[in-house]
Every structure is written in structure tokens, then in C-alpha cells.
Amino acid sequence: MRVKVAEHAALFYQDGAVVWDDYLHHRQFAISETAELLCRKFTEFTDVDALLAPLGEADQTALRKVLDELVDAGVLLVEGSPRHEAERRMLAGWGAWGASARHFHFASRTLGDAPYLGPDEHDAVLDAKLTSEPPPAPFRTSGGPAVPLPPLSDDPSWGTSRLLDVLLSRRTTREFGPGPVGLGQVGELLGVLGAPSPARSRIGRSGTVFKTSPSGGGRHPVEIYAHVRGIDGLTPGWHHYDGLAHALEPLDVLWSAEEMAEAAGDQDWVGQAPLVLAYTAVLERTRWRYDTSRAYRVVQMDVGHLSQTAYLVATAMGFGIGFTAALRDELVEQALRCDPYHEVVLGMSAMGPLPQ
């Protein structure tokens, strides 16, 4: 019999024990030190009889018992078995992306027997939570000096564009022209993206808020930062957008075009844009309502919704825009002063006049 360690799991240490985390089947259990050491001998398919042959009979008997238990638990896979064939299919689809991508997907994948609360049950849980754990604020401000932005017009000129025309005109732009971007246009774009919806501006008692883009549970974890260059009325550099006050808070960090390109995975076109929006997510907002790992997927979806809204508004305004997630997160975190354990970098939109 030839066996090897399954590749759909990870090991971690907890409370002095080694835990086998089978993320594919959502199983976690402690394994002994002997079992962990044995697993190291089976990183590739290895013949059990040949491995144990040099040992005495008593040791062979004891180790075979452990090996049988590991096979029964799915920690070790028998070559040619149904479990081995299932893993081969999984690796064929995910192998090139590596173990981390597989772990992220399958650990947050729900199985057929996953329990879900009904709406009334979920509301009851949140009501109880409100008494002991206040929800995080849906908007954030530094409290420092801020630049008020022109309010969003009730009838902006770009708002008369037909939705279908805007959708069909939308393109990812990686080259920008020399024309200006006005303060009013920046204010309107950010107001549409990050401020409360004028139609439903009330903030719920659990911190839910309505905006123009959908968000799981109305949590809106995405924060918007703007790097501006050559826009009258705004100091060049990074600013945080306070959606509730509709104002920009300067961070006193100015990036050159080369620094912006470096942070954006060496993409020069991002560095040439007069306006770059960086999106982060305050995880606590979503986690407060949804305490399952699957909710992390929802955070990723939220920035996709928001990016599409930015695309459509910029297109209606006559600007070019492009989104990228190819970032050096650490550089962005340092500029925006993000704590990566609580506020994660998601992506950037670069916007400017269309090339002539």
C-alpha cells in the first residue's frame, strides 16, 4: 500500500495541540506528535511496508495502528482510492493558484448541511447583540481639518445619460489626456460612491446604511481614499473621504507618479491619473453582523459593486477610468495608515480625462 498526506488541509497549533484543518470537508481535529512526525514521511506516495521494514515487530505494529487511523481519518490518502481521485480532480482545478487560494475558497464554502438562520431568528440574535456589543460606526472620520466638497446636484448634467448608453460606452482606460478634473466633479463622484443615499439617508440602529451600491447586510465596509494631483481647491496627495460629512481629510502624504505606479504593481498608467481612488475594507463592520468566514467573500463582492458604480459615473461624466487589484498592499497601507489586521486593502480606480 502506498500512501501520502492529503493536500486539502493545513496544520496549526492551538492550546498546545497540533490541529489538522481539513478545509475541504470542514473538519478539524487534534493529531498526536507521532502522527505529525509520520506525516512528514509521506509527503509523496510512499510504500508503507518498505518504510517500516527496518523497524522491529513491536514498532511496526504500533506505527501501523497509527497509520491505519490516519488513513481512516483522511489525513493519509491511499494511492488510487476514491479519496485520491477526488483530490486529483480538485488539484487539477486549483493547483496553479496554490494552497492559499484553495484554503480561502473551500474554507468559506458552505456544505449541504450548513445551518442558516431565518430572518426573524437573525434579527433576534442582532437585537441581543446590541445590548452587549455596540455595532461599529458605518462612517469614519479623523476629526482633523477637512475640505468640504461641493454637494451632489439634484440634477447633474451627466445624470441625463441613458443607462444603456453608459453601459455600452464603459471601457477600462489606461491612458489619460491633459484636461482638468474639477473639484465639483470629484465631489459628485465621491458623493455618489460613498455618501448615504439621498433617497434613504437614515442610519439604522445596528449601523446599516443605504448607498448607491449594494453591500451585504447594508454594512458597507469599504472606505474610500483619494489621491489628487492638479485639482484646484485640493492639496495634492492622499485624502480620506468622510462620507457622512461629505469632506476630504488630508493625510499629508503625496506620492509621485513613480511611487503610485510602484504601489500599483508597476503599472505606469495608474501613476499618470490626476485622481486615484483606493478602496479598503473595515472588516469589523461586516463581521459584527456575519460572524462566519463566508462573509469575507461578501467584502470582496462589495468592492466589485462599488468599482462598477465608479466606472459608470466616470463614464457618464466623460472621463476615463480603470480598476486594478494588482497592488503592493503594504505600500498602500503605509500611506493610508491602515492597520492590515482590521482594515484591508482591496483595489484602486484611476480616473482622468480621456486621451485626445
Average pLDDT for the chain: 95
> Please, which residues have CB within 8 angstroms of residue 78's CB and are 6 or more apart in sequence?
1, 2, 3, 71, 84
- Give pLDDT, residue 152: 86
Compute the average pLDDT of residues 37-48. Answer: 95
Amino acid at 214: P
356 pLDDT above the threshold of 90: no
154 pLDDT above the threshold of 90: no
Percent of residues, the chain, with pLDDT higher than 70:
100
And the C-alpha cell for 180?
Answer: 482638468
- Give pLDDT, residue 227: 98
Return d(Cα 209, Cα 200) in angstroms, integer. 8
- Give pLDDT, residue 191: 97
95 pLDDT above the threshold of 90: no
CATH number of the domain at 2-107, out of 3.40.390, 3.90.930, 1.10.10, 3.30.460? 3.90.930
* Structural domain boundaries in the chain: 2-107, 145-353
Alpha helices in the chain (DSSP H): 33-39, 48-52, 57-73, 82-94, 98-107, 119-132, 163-169, 183-194, 257-263, 268-271, 283-289, 295-317, 329-336
- Give pLDDT, residue 142: 86
Which DSSP helix (H) or strand (E) runs through 238? Answer: strand 237-242
And the C-alpha cell for 205?
Answer: 440602529
Q: Do domains 2-107 and 145-353 have the same CATH topology?
A: no
- Give pLDDT, residue 235: 96
Confidence class of residue 317 from pLDDT cuts 50, 70 and 90?
A: very high
Return d(Cα 167, Cα 251) in angstroms, integer. 34
Assigned CATH for 145-353: 3.40.109.10
